[in-house]
Amino acid sequence: MDLGLKGKRALAMGASKGLGRSIADAIAAEGAVVTVSGREQASLDKVAAELKAAGAAAAYGIPADVARGEDMDRLADQAVAKMGGVDILVLNHGGPPPCTASEMTEADLQKWFQHIVLSPIRITMRLMPAMRAQKWGRVIVVGSSGMQHPIPTLALSNTLRASIWAWLKTLSGEVAADGVTMNVLAPGSILTDRITQTATARAAKAGVSVEEELARAGREAPAGRIGLPKEYGPMGAFLAGETGSFITGSMIRVDGGRVRSML
């Protein structure tokens, strides 16, 4: 299937590894121009070279820290300068630390509000006028199954992702008639560095091996296992392509059936 991504210009944030990288990989393989972002130039340069080798029409790496709002303006402007515009924006960042709702502090909330809500909104609003003017655009938020089924130990994530989801849903209704779609791609447990790190901490606490802990976590989903990045990214490419033109304001789950809700 031709996803219609040849020559489209994508900016993928949090794409030095993990889920953001998996979307960048899938979009690059379709012949798009891709800029990846994260915090380190060296790792981004390496990813850009790999994307180019895997089929990207061109690939660039631009460092930016979502903890700093002003970095978002610079990232948007530099991506436009490198690629001539941004048609596809993937909003992603590192995940917040685990905590229960009772443990969550105001300082934690303020810090992670910048990462999860303010910075993604700031960069989107800088790029949105051009997407609307050209009557074509795609915004994809890397979300979490906790946006539909709050995860007891991830209170910061649950709380703040509810906000970005409500914002996306609201804005998607304002821009849909201009050919701009906005969706959340919500992962269950997908094997990335983050999942390995959190499983390592839980395994040490429980006195089991990391493999045993990953297998246990996998059994939380009907699929009975943890997913792989290559099972997540292609759905991002589908949403980003012409194939996604009538899908907007939606949350698409890639979770092995983990969320049991019918909605």
Ligand X SMILES: NC(=O)c1ccc[n+]([C@@H]2O[C@H](COP(=O)([O-])OP(=O)(O)OC[C@H]3O[C@@H](n4cnc5c(N)ncnc54)[C@H](OP(=O)(O)O)[C@@H]3O)[C@@H](O)[C@H]2O)c1
d(CA 74, CA 229): 29
Site size toward ligand X, by CB under 6 A: 28
| 48-77: contacts with ligand X (CB under 6 A) | 65-67
H runs (alpha helix) in the chain = 18-28, 41-53, 69-83, 106-113, 119-133, 155-175, 193-206, 210-218, 233-240
Q: What is the largest CA-CA distance in the chain?
A: 57
CB closer to ligand X out of 151 and 176:
151
Residue 17 interacts with ligand X (CB under 6 A)?
yes
Contacts (CB under 6 A) with ligand X, residues 74-113: 92-95
8 A C-beta contact, residue 127 and residue 83:
no
Nearer to ligand X, 175 or 195 (CB): 195
- Footprint of ligand X on 195-254 (CB under 6 A): 195
CB of 191 to ligand X, least distance (A): 7
Q: Are the CB atoms for 12 and 246 separated by under 8 Å?
A: no
User: Judged by CB under 6 A, does residue 194 bind ligand X?
Assistant: yes
CA 250/CA 181 separation, integer angstroms: 9
Please tell me whether residue 14 binds ligand X under the rule CB under 6 A. Answer: yes
Q: Which stretch binds ligand X (CB under 6 A): 83-91, 182-190, 210-218, 241-249?
A: 182-190
Interface of this chain with ligand X, residues 113 to 152, rule: CB under 6 A:
142, 144
The Cα–Cα gap between 177 and 161 comes to 25
Q: Which of 151, 157, 144, 158 is nearest to 232 (CA)?
A: 144
Among 3, 5, 10, 15, binds ligand X (CB under 6 A): 15
Total length of the chain: 263
Minimum separation from the CB atom of position 27 to ligand X (A) = 15
Residue ranges in contact with ligand X by CB under 6 A: 14-20, 38-40, 43, 65-67, 92-95, 142, 144, 157, 187, 189-190, 192-195
